[in-house]
Amino acid sequence: MKEISIVFMLAGMSSRFGGRAKAFADVGPNGENLLEYSLNQALKAGFRKIIFIVSPKTEKLFVDYYGNSYKGVPIVYALQEYDEETRDRPWGTNDALCSARDLIEGPFVICNGDDIYGENAFKELYDHLQSSEEDATIGYKLGKVLSDAGSVNRGIFETKDGYIKTVTETLGITREKMSEMGLNDDDLCSMNLFGLQKGTLDLLYDKLIHFKLTHADDRNIECYLPHELNSLIAEGKIKMRLYETDDLWIGVTVPEDEQIVRGILAKL
């Protein structure tokens, strides 16, 4: 059995969430915060190492609350930092992942730390990585991951024979505008949940170094993980299997969402 790590991106403090870390939103029926609920789902799949990617602003919050283990599974911390003299913000999600590069020794699953993905989604990726040397991701039906509070951005998958051909980042999607944008409820999209091989991480790191050199004078541009994975697929350097899921994805955007999510989870 391979040891497969689960990696949570937890470096952000959301301005729309009152400047708090959304992962601590109180949503579970048994008093679990959002991250605990997601961890419980993930650990049922079999992960035996947890990696938290944090920032200088969030590190103490998570270390104080979780320490070095959760339900007997070790937690290690990666720190995503940036030079505030040359940058106004971190370098993006690919930079976040690459900040954990020295802690990742084999296959891993990377995801947002403030989303709930579903037990089956984690299990699909865990089982895939146990038996395959290819990368994989989960596709959620677009109609199930839109917001009633406003527009969203989603990476829309184009597939062939069960593999990803492209991921197209599509901005400003609403239920009302879907048809005019050429989209429908059954289109599969990314919610930033990927099962990756260690070799893919090395390729992503090379992409990041090139990106930083190319954009050294830009204080705000970010290197996004889905975009760089899309580039590796287009270049023929990786193959990524797509697994469709009917699992419920749940995200929290504003403080009012806590109550809504709590009600949804109470009924599951």
Q: Where are the domains of the chain?
A: 5-266
Cα torsion through 99, 104, 106, 108, rounded to 10: -70
Distance CA 34, CA 258 (A): 9
Q: Is the pLDDT of residue 18 over 70?
A: no
| pLDDT confidence of residue 172 | 93
Place of tokens 């602003």: 57
Cα separation, 84 vs 142, whole angstroms: 37
17: confidence class by pLDDT, cuts 50, 70, 90: low
pLDDT, tens only, 74-84: 999 999 999 99
Across the range 222-251, mean pLDDT stands at 96
pLDDT averaged over every residue in the chain? 94
- Is 5-266 assigned to CATH 3.90.550.10? yes
Quote the tokens at residue 93.
Answer: 């999600």
Q: With a threshold of 0.85, does the pTM exceed it?
A: yes
